[in-house]
Homo-oligomer: A and B are copies of this chain.
Amino acid sequence: MKPLDLSLHLVTDRNLSLGRDLLDIVQAAVQGGVSVVQLREKECATREFVELGRAVSSLLQQSSVPLLINDRVDIALAIGADGVHIGQSDMPYADARRLLGTDAIIGLSVESEAHAQAAEILDVDYLGLSPVFTTPTKCELTESLGLEGVASIRRLSRHRLVAIGGIHHENISAILKSGADGVAVVSAICSASDPLQATRQLQQKIAV
């Protein structure tokens, strides 16, 4: 198995895709250089989620980009996705790992140092630090971690870290300097007028 490239995640949001077909956005993002695609659907019927997941999975077959499913272990199992990204209100990590097996990629969102500390005993593949900056994607009012929060969690955690929340090409460098191994974006790609160019621009900042 080749090492997991966590540098740039696309997290999908059809509501933020300006009415465009999600598959076109995923295709552009893959062409532009995302290293992970995470399919996030919070209000979609299971049947539709399965169908969408299969379509994205099929599109990604031609690339080496892994597909993660947000929250729903059943969708990941049904479509044979590479893994899941789970949050603190999703399935407990131990259950998800047991159902998905040792080879699956499992990322876990942490929103505080306490969460990150609790994750030290877990063999997660990465921690998602959320939110690093304030963001229109998350409705709930979670306090943002900021660059200092990323740096603090970097000091205490043995895991690889992916930052999410309010990330765009102008703040990526600072986030990586603070200790993140990669970033995840939603609107910076989904809402971009040109998702391919936007992804390239993000990836260029990461490659520096």
Which residues of A are at the interface with B, using a C-beta cutoff of 8 A?
Answer: 45-48, 50, 71-75, 77-78, 86, 88-92, 95, 98-99
Check if A50 sits within 8 Å of B89, measured CB to CB.
no
Q: State the CA gap A78–B92 with chains docked (Å).
A: 9
Q: List 9 A-B contacts (CB under 8 A).
A: A45-B89, A46-B89, A46-B90, A47-B88, A47-B89, A50-B91, A50-B95, A74-B99, A78-B98
* Least CB separation from A50: chain B residue: B91
Which 3 residue pairs are nearest across A and B when measured between Cβ atoms?
A74-B74, A45-B89, A73-B74
Given A89-B45, A90-B45, decide whether A78 and B95 contact each other with a Cβ distance below 8 A: yes
Contact in complex: B77, A99 (CB < 8 Å):
yes
- With A78-B95, A78-B99, A95-B78 as contacts: A71 and B90 at CB distance below 8 Å: no
Count of identical protomers in the assembly? 2
Give the docked Cα–Cα distance between A50 and B47 (Å). 21
Chain B positions within 8 Å of A86 at CB level: 46
Which residues on the B side are within 8 Å of A45 (C-beta)? 89-90
- Measured in the bound complex, the distance between the Cα atoms of B76 and A99 in whole Å is 11
The docked-state distance in angstroms from the alpha carbon of A171 to that of B10 is: 53
Contacts of A91 in B (CB 8 A): 46-47, 50, 74, 78
Give Cα distance in the complex from A186 to B1, angstroms.
49
Shortest CB–CB separation between residue A82 and chain B, in angstroms?
A: 16
In the complex, residue of chain B having the shortest beta-carbon distance to the beta carbon of A77: B99
For A48, give the chain B residue with the smallest CB separation.
B89
Bound-state Cα–Cα, A91 to B46, Å: 5
Check A92–B48 contact: CB distance below 8 A: no
The smallest beta-carbon distance between A15 and chain B, in angstroms, is: 18
Smallest Cβ-Cβ distance to A51: which chain B residue: B92
CA distance A117 to B98 in the complex (A): 37
How many angstroms from the CA of A75 to the CA of B74 in the assembled complex? 8
A-B contacts besides A46-B90, A50-B92, A73-B78, 10 pairs, CB < 8 Å? A46-B89, A46-B91, A47-B88, A50-B91, A74-B74, A74-B75, A74-B99, A77-B77, A78-B91, A78-B95
